[in-house]
Amino acid sequence: MITVVAALIRKENKVLLAKRSTGDENVFGKWEFPGGKVEANETEKQAIEREIKEEFEMNIKAKKFIINNVCEYPNKIVDLRLYECEYISGDFKLHDHFEYSWVNVDKILEYDLAPADIPLAKYLKENL
């Protein structure tokens, strides 16, 4: 099982989603909460902060764990772990995504989300 962390970054009652420009056919072109794999000798909070820096050249602070979803893809099992994060600094520069969007939580399920992200989006829609 691969542990993957994702960032919940909020701005004016909206959440950040990004559309993948890399990855296998299960996630390519899909919308997601941005993030990535936890590396060896790295905490989940360190991983999400590093991944957002690498993917967007932005600095964030991981605050708290919210929810996770274990998703079985044809070639791997992913434990996707969502963390509430605070924006610190930086401007968006896309490296692993085609585009990004600030999405009203009520509209989040209208996006073509990666399979592992769908249960997280449903949880947020019901609980934010």
User: With 90 as the cut, is the pLDDT of residue 36 above it?
Assistant: yes
* Counted domains in the chain: 1
d(CA 93, CA 78): 26
| Interval 55-90: pLDDT, tens | 999 999 999 999 999 999 998 999 999 999 999 999
| Interval 10-33: pLDDT, tens | 998 899 999 999 888 888 999 999
Q: Which domain holds residue 56?
A: 2-127
**pTM of the predicted model, to two decimals?**
0.94
Q: What's the average model confidence in pLDDT over 100-122?
A: 96
CATH code of the domain covering residue 110: 3.90.79.10
Per DSSP, 29 falls in state T
Q: Which pLDDT does position 60 carry in this prediction?
A: 97
